[in-house]
Amino acid sequence: MPTKTAEDYLAALADELAVSDVRYDQACRSYASLGAWLHRPESTVLKYDPQVYVQGSFRLGTAIRPISDEEEYDVDSVCVLRTLSTSNMSQKQLKTLLGDEIKAYRRAQNMVKPVREGRRCWVLSYADGAQFHMDIVPAVPNATRQRQMLEARGLDLQWSETAIVITDIRSPVYEYISDNWQRSNPKGYAEWFKLRMGTVFEQRRRALAESIKANVEEIPDYRVRTPLQSAIMILKRHRDGMFVNRYDERPISIIITTLAGHAYNGEEKIADTLYSILSRMDQFIEHDGQKRVIRNPSDPLENFADKWPQHPEREEAFFEWLAEARRDFGELARQIERRRLVESVQLRMGAVAERAAARLGPPPGSMLSPASAAAVVGAAGSSAPAFPNARREPTSPKGFA
């Protein structure tokens, strides 16, 4: 069992990594403002019933602060034109249509930085002081076709109603009318993730509402942080620190988040959650006889590890990172002295390790009462989590047919 000191330190790490409510408010206002622009009477997309919503780590509550002040927050969003389909226009036509509106929005808002085009999105850059940019991915609904594809294979239809398809300039049919668009389902994934957090999320939301004398419905999701979200935030920063000079090899966040979600078992403390995830997350990597498979919970036809066969170094990097995370946090679990807590993860966590320790206040004095001394002795005798050295045989993740 991790020591009490280790639990307190991990909670402080999560607090130090957390995105402030101010940043979340900024992100919410930004995509709401863009949505209002697309619904103005003169909008060229109004007749297509546009809906803008946030996706990715900001939606899941697992976003972390950039390593330095020079980096920006990346707020991922989607704009779904809900009355369009893949038979109405090409990906290029859709992207151009929405891009023209985003450029007009940027001019109307007197934004200095130009709109940039990404592979799948338009990038709207805000003033330097805001320290974030918003990626807007054009999309159309895909529920009917997704349901048909899943039914044909006898797969789970639970999240099919929120399926979408998105633009991608590297698509071979980018300029042509075609049903062969890239699939996505950020709403479905977010609902799956929320389900994996279980009752802990609602319990904490109610407790927060009571503490500030508000109605539960008034508490936005981003104000609530569960042990699962905190553990993922810590693991993502550990990953970032390990792959500073090997960015293309680093395990992508969606893989860490998905495997962590599967491995989470309802623990109510960050330390217990972290060690449960590290012990079990590789169990939820399947093998189809040729390659490793990490299924998208909201679209079991998608494999998040699909790039591993072409880039075997990424697969090796994942297991390298997992082994190091097990070592580092296994060492942290045994510690009761603050300096050793910091040292156990400082190599990978960087300056945040020291700042988290500072959040705990001044270290206690050396004069301990008999009761405190007994507690320290008991903690020192605690065993660290036993992480397996060998890869486990893959099993089918929870929630799949």
Contact between 244 and 355 (Cβ < 8 Å): no
Q: What is the DSSP secondary structure assignment for residue 17, as one 8-state letter? A: H
Write the CATH number of the domain with boundaries 21-187: 3.30.460.10
308-355 pLDDT per residue, tens: 999 999 999 999 999 999 999 999 988 888 899 899 999 999 899 999
What is the spatial distance between Cα 59 and Cα 24, in angstroms, rounded to a whole number? Answer: 10
What mean pLDDT do residues 188-196 have?
95
Q: What is the pLDDT of residue 132?
A: 81
**What would the two tokens of residue 170 be?**
């590297």
% the chain with pLDDT above 90? 67
What is the spatial distance between Cα 321 and Cα 238, in angstroms, rounded to a whole number? Answer: 9
Q: Of 212, 77, 82, nearest to 135 (Cα)?
A: 77
Instruction: Return the domain boundaries, the chain.
Output: 4-17+225-380, 21-187
Three-state secondary-structure class, residue 67: coil
Q: What is the pLDDT of residue 398?
A: 41
C-alpha distance across the termini of the chain, in Å: 34
Query: At residue 169, does pLDDT exceed 90?
Result: yes
